[in-house]
Chains A and B, each alone.
Chain A
């Protein structure tokens, strides 16, 4: 990924799949992408928190975006991955995705900010939609995805 450089007014996203839909995660938050591994369950926590894993000696919590967004529970396949995110507030956290596809660079004019629709629960986790050759990508607003349920 080193050869792709951020150009002026553009942002790089990693395209992932959850079910049939494509989602984009801003590359600056991504620390690592690892294969699915055994997740140690932590009792008495919210259902979207799947547990903790060991990444190079560090214990990192893992959450399911699917459950958080109200989709069907994850089905572990060969292409399942855990994306390790580094966020300013919540620290390091892993999210489970069905598949990691590619890295795209989106010019800012190709990013359409979402008009906030409170009825659509899924929409509150997005901050925009990106257009590129591969079709439309829903861009995840990581802070609201990771935010704890109150």
Chain B
């Protein structure tokens, strides 16, 4: 079977299952007795195995198979969950993840057999219940099957299948040839979306070993998804029942498969039952299947029989509404209301929206330039403006994804850190559902991971120290995300030691980053900011968790590359809080356009506080730097014409136009020549080639097709 078309679905599902396993195994570690969790893990491992098997990834299948075995033992109470086992399981997940990555990159699982892991898994099994574990597993399977046979009539729908004469002949013929006749009832998981596809895979799996004679509902109905959770099959095969059942079970999202041997008496009784209940199909059946019946009599041409069978089956339920048939007609297939879209298509869409906004801006500037401002044109332009703005907003919304996908791996990471560092800690997360632009979510993972590691390694004290200080032995790390206006805030907080500003200062002096005199004059905040200096790490020991000296400066630059900012607040002995502030959108912003000399520049509205008109006489000099006094605040002035090397066109006697911008709690006044106005601009990168210019964060295309540069106010403060 060509499975390449399913590859994408396979990868997505595998990821989901792996994530699920990670979460479940974590919670299992907390509560080793929780049967629900164990069942959930078992199911996920089982689905993984089935999927890998279907796709032909044997190594992956082997590994998951052994994991599943371990869980089946746990589920049966033969072995207990212990820390060692959890460790092995996590390693297994890592190995599976590796397979998954390999498959994603090369559609091949790679050659790593992970023999060592499989051995350890087997030794866990051995340690649990001795040599019999394997047998026990299969025995339990068998007993489960038995149980099912005796207890739950509901799952044995295959016994209710009505057979027409032709089909009975086929079965009898098979019986004569010494083949076995089995009935199977397959239950699909309720959550399954593509039931027909799963059923198809079950059919495929079964057809490898056996021949399907009858299905209920008919294969046509199954294909059209006109069935509830159950469907039943009658097959003939030379193989053992177990093998067929397992083959069917290996298909993912199949909850259960119940099988049983049908002897010919059963078949007959079914026929009698059928006769009692309805005459119609009996009459219909011979008509439709006369010729195949003959054929079947001569040679066991079951394939033909199967082909006719749908017509018969279609009529049978209509005449005799069996419980199964009732259900199939009652439940219409639920159409899934989401669509998976390639991120590239969204990028294209976003670019087109950007183009549209540029075109709209051109239209606005063209109509003002021509001086032809008839009210009708203005009205239409305003309408266009509101449409493009809402279009932009909707496209942005489509691109928003919850940060969940990124932060979900952190509990596992913290757990690993705990082992590695020998500290006790717990991660509390909130606001995983907070949404951010896809590109931001993809890139925020590394900086966050860094901050968490930092908290775990440098922030939290060891259990002994914590006890001495009267804190709970288990340290807490919090990861909170929430939306705040046009920003999303992510906080990483710990209740550890906090930042020792003295130690930071000493270290900075030692490294030659500051002089001792500078150190004496520094405020607490300034000292903390030293942490973001390249090559700064205060950990006394270089551990493999953190402390290689590439750290917070990288975090800072990564976040700034996303147009965000990071802040630290810390209290010695009580812990520290790292606050990351990110803009909701990256591509399109509201900006203030200004004239400086002959050139136009844009300043993001987000960083602008106020715009002031200052008389030249109000400009004071402090330490040879120009400042202005504004509402009791002394604000340094930055003459943009000097920084940008453009001669200002303004008369020095005129009042200054000062744009007050802020960064954190610092402010600066940017002196510009003229204000042009507020405009929605599309941010375009200047490219790698012009990266030296730090004060320019990007460019935008104006209405007249010209390029204007965007000033990065943050670097000017």
Contact = CB atoms under 8 A, between A and B. Distances in A.
B355 A52 contact: no
A78 interface: no
A14 B45 CA distance: 61
Interface string B307-323: 00000000000000000
Contact of B692 (A45, A57, A60, A146): A45
Interface in B677-717: 684-690, 692-696, 699-701, 705-709
A79 interface: no
Contacts of A41: 599
B342 interface: no
Nearest to A41: B599
A59 B644 contact: no
Contacts of B688: 90-91
Given A53-B707, A90-B688, A40 B699 contact: yes
Contacts of B692: 44-46
A52 B693 contact: no
Nearest to A40: B707
B1 interface: no
A146 B690 CA distance: 12
B497 interface: no
A58 B695 CA distance: 20
B83 interface: no
B152 to A, nearest CB: 64
B684 A43 contact: no
Contacts of B644: 43-44
A45 B354 contact: no
Interface string B346-380: 00000100110010000000000000000000000
Q: Which of A42, A92, A93, A146 has the most CB of B within 10 A?
A: A42
Interface in A44-63: 44-46, 49, 51-54, 57-61
Contacts of A93: 687, 689
Interface string A72-108: 0000000000000000001111000000000000000
A63 to B, nearest CB: 8
Contacts of A51: 707
B643 interface: yes
Interface string A134-150: 00000000000010100
A40 B690 CA distance: 13
A43 B643 contact: yes
A49 B690 contact: yes
B276 interface: no
B645 interface: yes
A150 to B, nearest CB: 12
A49 B700 CA distance: 18
B707 A57 contact: no
A38 interface: yes
B701 A42 contact: no
A59 B354 contact: no
A41 B687 CA distance: 15
Most A-side CB within 10 Å, residue of B599, B646, B699, B700: B699
B358 A40 contact: no
A44 B644 CA distance: 7
Interface in B138-163: none
Contacts of B705: 54
A146 B622 CA distance: 44
Contacts of A60: 687
A138 to B, nearest CB: 24
Contact of A61 (B599, B686, B700): B686
A7 to B, nearest CB: 34
A147 to B, nearest CB: 10
A43 B645 contact: yes
Q: Of residues A45, A59, A61, A92, which shows the largest number of chain B Cβ atoms within 10 Å of its Cβ? A: A59
A42 B694 CA distance: 11
Given A43-B643, A43-B645, A54-B701, A92 B687 contact: yes
Interface string B474-491: 000000000000000000
Contact of A38 (B355, B695, B706): B706
Interface residues of A, number: 24
Contacts of B689: 49, 61, 90-91, 93, 146, 148
A51 to B, nearest CB: 8
A42 B686 contact: yes
Interface string B587-623: 0000000000001000000000000000000000000
A52 B690 contact: yes
A93 B701 CA distance: 17
Contacts of A38: 706
B707 A43 contact: no
Contacts of A54: 701, 705-707
A38 B684 CA distance: 18
Contact of A42 (B355, B696, B706): B696
A58 B696 CA distance: 17
Interface in A18-53: 38, 40-46, 49, 51-53
A96 to B, nearest CB: 15
A61 B355 contact: no
Nearest to A93: B689
Contact of B693 (A40, A45, A58): A45
Contacts of B694: 44
- Among A38, A49, A54, chain B packs the most CB atoms within 10 A around the CB of A54
Given A54-B706, A57-B358, A43 B690 contact: no
Contacts of A40: 599, 699, 706-709
B647 to A, nearest CB: 13
Contacts of A146: 689
B362 to A, nearest CB: 11
Nearest to A89: B688
Contact of A44 (B599, B693, B706): B693
A40 B699 CA distance: 10
A44 B695 contact: yes
A59 B686 CA distance: 6
A6 to B, nearest CB: 29
Contacts of A46: 692
B693 A59 contact: no
Given A54-B707, A57-B354, A59-B699, A42 B690 contact: yes
A46 B688 CA distance: 14
Contacts of B699: 40, 52, 59
Contact of A57 (B355, B643, B686, B708): B355
A103 B190 CA distance: 66
A52 B693 CA distance: 13
A52 B686 contact: yes
A51 B694 CA distance: 15
26 contacts: A40-B699, A40-B706, A40-B708, A40-B709, A42-B693, A43-B643, A43-B696, A44-B693, A44-B695, A45-B692, A49-B689, A51-B707, A52-B686, A52-B699, A57-B354, A57-B701, A59-B685, A59-B687, A59-B699, A60-B687, A61-B686, A61-B687, A90-B689, A91-B688, A91-B689, A92-B687
Interface of B: 351, 354-355, 358, 599, 643-646, 684-690, 692-696, 699-701, 705-709
Given A54-B701, A57-B354, A57-B701, 16 more contacts: A40-B599, A40-B707, A40-B709, A43-B646, A43-B693, A44-B645, A44-B694, A44-B695, A57-B351, A57-B355, A59-B686, A61-B686, A61-B689, A61-B690, A91-B689, A148-B689
